[in-house]
Structure 1
Amino acid sequence: MNDRLPDYHTIEAALALAVRAPSVHNTQPWRFRIGDRGLHLYLDPARALPSTDPDQRDLVLSCGAALHHLRIALAGLGWSAVVQRLPDAVNPNHLASIELVPHRPTMTDTALSAAITRRQTDRRHYSSRPIPPGYLGLLAERAGVHGGIVRQAAYGSRDQLVEAMRAAARQHSGDPNYQFELAAWSGRHDAVHGVPALNALPPLAAQRVPARAFAQHRLVDPKREPDYAELLVLGTTADDRLARLCAGEAVSAMLLTATNIGLATCLVTEPLEIPELRKKIRVGVLDNTTHAQAVIRIGWLPTGLAALPPAPRRAVEDVLDPFDATEIATAR
């Protein structure tokens, strides 16, 4: 990198926030590389989930969330990211080239950057306190900047979405390959990835909105009242790799905005991992107009609930490749 770019400590601070992005099974399927003009984001195929996510849609979505987290973190540190998505036609795992230019942080940059460390995936029940329509409108607006189209599942469409979620849970419960993969990425206490037991709920047949059945679940949900979570479905007009990457950025924008407001969130992708159920959601919830990329549970936590322990994350040095001027030049 040259002297017109941030120093390594600034890059390290931004990446430390970027890796806090949500990812399927907390696989953290990203790698970064420092180039002579900025940074590069790659999908790490070694962290693929062939039974859960055979077309790598969830992995690309996860990397999109990390890309947005990185952009927000850099903006908060005084650098604007000029992003070229899918810059290398030969290498589809090279998801983004990020050129950095000086930038004066806005109040929104600062607020969203601060929200990164507070955001959590919270699978517990949410209270009946209503979400003001203006808040939901702001989430849709922030997603729209990245090409995301948000639909609130209500009444009949909510019933169809919840039934798809239950059907996915039933189908996955009988799939030994899926169950083996799920167990490999959950329930461990000393790992730097995967879903820890203290963040996972037990599967309950009576649960109105089922959560993914991670292994060795030890999260206690007091269930002071039924789950009143709102369900937001994020869709895109296209369904290629670029659309999925941008959908991940839209998801991140929604989650950080919700966190800044004080709302709890939980990203859900399980029913979208089964093609026939994803099609039903497209038809029944999105009026067959957009492709469903993610479902977000959102709401207020009941009063008095403690924050969850933070999910583990890999250190920056574990996801940062050494600079390779030849490869970066070729990629550009």
Structure 2
Amino acid sequence: MDHGLPDDHIVRAALELAIRAPSAQNTQPWRWRIGDRSVHLYLDPARALPSTDPDQRDLVVSCGAALHHLRVAFAALGWSAVVHRLPNPAQPNHLASIELVRHRPTAHEIELSAAIGRRRTDRRHFSSWPVPPGYLGLVTERAATLGAIVRQVTDRSRDCLVEAMRAAAERHAGDPGYSLELAEWSGRHDGVQWSDEAHEPDCAELLVLSTSADDRLSRLCAGEALSAVLLTATNIGLATCLLTEPLEIPAMRHRVRVGVLDDYGYPQAVIRIGWAPTGAETLPVTPRRPVEDVLDPFDATEVASC
């Protein structure tokens, strides 16, 4: 980058953290381009899931999570990100243009950046400890600042969500295309499963993250809010698991919208959140592609048309 802007080592360090973002089936559907004075995020259509995600909603949400991870990383490294989302209507896969200005990191930004390396998708049985309401309020507040609504799912709404999850799992079990994509991208041949060996109740909470609209910009912002929720939860010691299956089938997603969100807003993510059992082993890191594999040459003429 130009003199006075982050050097290549800082940019690479930020990208190393950005690609730790969660993605549907671990597709990692992002590509990055580094200009003289900016960083650009693109959706990679080659990572699409035709059976699982035909309208690429999950891919855009995943890229939004990577965008927020990048912003957090740069902030901790002393650079504030000025983001222009969907800067070129003629290129819908150009999701964001990021300009950087010098910035003094706050303790909160440093803590969130450190949480990136600790966050895991935890599919294990959670403990019987309840999640304090203040913690749920905090993640809700962090999502709201990024344009998303987080609803805690309780009582009859929870029954509706659990039933939608079961119905989606049954539908996918009979779909060879879904099973093939699941095995190819995530290395798993079955849906999310919880341990049957636990001897205490699982007091995990279920959260639904939604947006008021359902266009590409809303989905991108939903991914940013999702990242904020997951990193905030990790920072305060909570375990999380992103559940995509109940929203991958239009009928089930509609059922969640009506039964959980009272027909208002569009569900973009379902999150299990709770306390990992005391003494639980640290989960291994999910593999990610090297930074070199997700970098493209910078095209100045393309950016100039934005």
* C-alpha distance in 1 between matches for 2:105 and 2:226: 22
State the identity %.
71
SS where residue 232 of structure 1 aligns? strand
C-alpha contact (below 8 Å) 1:32/1:42 kept by paired residues: yes
CA distance in 1 between partners of 2:221 and 2:186 (Å): 27
2:264 to 247, 266, 289: 289
Which residue of 2 is the match for residue 107 of structure 1?
107
User: Are 1:250 and 2:225 counterparts?
Assistant: yes
User: How many residues get paired?
Assistant: 306
Flag structure 2 segments of 5+ consecutive residues without an equivalent.
Answer: none
Counterpart-to-counterpart distance in 1, 2:117 and 2:275: 18
The letter for the 1-side match of 2:141 is E
CA distance in 1: counterparts of 2:284 and 2:124, whole angstroms: 13
Deviation string 1:34-60 (CA, Å, 9 cap, x unpaired) is 012210000000000000001100000
Q: 1:30 touches 1:319 (CA, 8 Å); kept in 2?
A: yes
Q: Letter of the aligned partner of 2:42 in structure 1?
A: Y
TM-score under structure 2 normalisation? Answer: 0.97
Q: Which amino acid aligns with 1:283?
A: V
Cα distance per residue 1:167-186 (max 9 Å; x no partner)? 00000000111111111123
**Equivalent residues of 1:124, 1:221 under 8 A apart:** no
Letter in 2 for 1:115: A
The reply to whether residue 13 of structure 1 matches residue 13 of structure 2 is yes
Contact 1:125 1:228 in 2 (8 A): no
Counterpart of 1:98 in structure 2 is 98
Matches within 5 A, 1:1-332: 1-187=1-187, 211-212=191-192, 222-330=197-305, 332=306
Cα 1:290–1:224, aligned 2, differ >3 Å: closer, same or farther? same
TM-score by length of 1: 0.89
Once residues 92 and 212 of structure 1 are traced to their aligned partners in structure 2, the CA distance between those partners, rounded to angstroms, is 32
Partners in 2 of 1:300 and 1:224 — Cα distance?
Answer: 15
Letter in 2 for 1:232: L
In structure 2, what is the equivalent of residue 193 of structure 1? none
Change (3 A) 1:265 1:4: same
Q: Distance in 2 between matches of 1:26 and 1:279?
A: 24
CA distance in 2, matches of 1:239, 1:42: 19
